[in-house]
Chain A
Amino acid sequence: MAIIETKNLTYTYPGASKPSISDVSIKVEKGEFVLITGPSGCGKTTLCRTFNGLVPHFYQGELKGEILVAGIDVLKHHTYEMAKHVGLVFQNPENQLFALSIEKDVAFGLENVGVSREEMRKKVDWALNQTGIYDLRERSPHEISGGQQQRVAIASVLAMEPEIIVLDEPTSFLDPLSAEKIFEVIYKLNKEQGITVILVEHRLDLTAKYTNHLIVMDQGKVRFEGDPRQILSSEETRLMGVGIPKATLLYQMLKKEGLNLGEKTPLSSEELADQLLEALSSR
Chain B
Amino acid sequence: MIEAQQISYAYPNKVEALKGVSLTIKDGEFVAIMGQNGAGKSTLVKHFNGLLKPSQGKVLVDGVETTKSSVAALARNVGFVFQNPDHQLFSETVEEEIAFALKNFGFKSEIVEQRVTWALNLLSLTQYRKTSPFLLSGGERKRVALASVLAWDPQTLILDEPTIGQDHEQKEILRQFILQMQTQKKTVVTVTHDVEFVAECNPRVVLMKEGKIIADGVGKEILTDPAMLELSSIVLPQIAQVFTKLASLGFPKDVIDIYEAKSIILKAKEGKA
Contacts and interface: CB of A to CB of B under 8 A. Distances in A.
Direct contact of A and B (CB under 8 A): yes
B193 A40 contact: no
B85 interface: no
Contacts, number: 102
Contacts of B245: 269-270, 273-274, 277
B241 to A, nearest CB: 4
A241 B269 contact: no
A242 B258 contact: no
A1 interface: no
A241 B167 contact: yes
A243 interface: yes
Contact of A254 (B139, B194, B265): B265
A245 B137 CA distance: 26
Contact of A177 (B165, B234, B241): B234
B170 A40 contact: yes
Interface in B236-269: 237-239, 241-242, 245-246, 248-249, 258, 261-262, 265-266, 268-269
A72 B192 CA distance: 43
B195 interface: yes
B241 A269 contact: yes
B196 A246 contact: yes
A40 B246 contact: no
Contacts of A269: 238-239, 241-242, 245
A156 to B, nearest CB: 22
Given A175-B37, A277-B249, A282 B272 contact: yes
Given A40-B137, A205-B238, A246-B238, A276 B165 contact: no
B113 to A, nearest CB: 31
A176 B233 CA distance: 9
B235 interface: yes
Contact of A40 (B167, B238, B266): B167
Contacts of A202: 166-168
Q: How large is the interface on A (under 10, 10 to 19, 20 to 34, 35 or more residues)?
A: 35 or more
Q: How large is the interface on B (under 10, 10 to 19, 20 to 34, 35 or more residues)?
A: 35 or more
Contacts of A241: 167-169
A281 B196 contact: no
B167 A276 contact: no
Given A145-B37, A241-B167, A246-B258, A272 B249 contact: no
Contacts of B171: 243
Given A241-B168, A241-B169, A269-B241, A259 B266 contact: yes
Interface in A203-251: 205, 241-243, 245-247, 249-250
B235 A180 contact: yes
Given A172-B165, A270-B245, A280 B268 contact: yes
A215 B64 CA distance: 55
Contacts of A39: 167-169
B164 A246 contact: no
A177 B235 contact: yes
A43 interface: no
A257 interface: yes
B154 interface: no
Interface in B201-215: none
B192 to A, nearest CB: 9
By CB atoms of chain B within 10 A, which of A145, A177, A270 has the most? A177
Contacts of B268: 280
A41 B137 contact: yes
B81 to A, nearest CB: 17
A229 B38 CA distance: 38
Contacts of A246: 196, 237-239, 258
A99 interface: no
Contacts of A273: 241-242, 245-246
Closest 8 CB pairs of A and B: A243-B168, A269-B241, A273-B245, A241-B169, A175-B193, A176-B235, A246-B238, A269-B242
Interface of A: 39-41, 91, 145-146, 169, 172-173, 175-177, 180, 202, 205, 241-243, 245-247, 249-250, 253-254, 257, 259, 269-270, 272-274, 276-277, 279-282
Given A40-B170, A177-B234, A243-B168, 4 more contacts: A39-B167, A242-B168, A273-B245, A276-B265
Interface of B: 36-38, 137-139, 164-171, 193-196, 233-235, 237-239, 241-242, 245-246, 248-249, 258, 261-262, 265-266, 268-269, 272
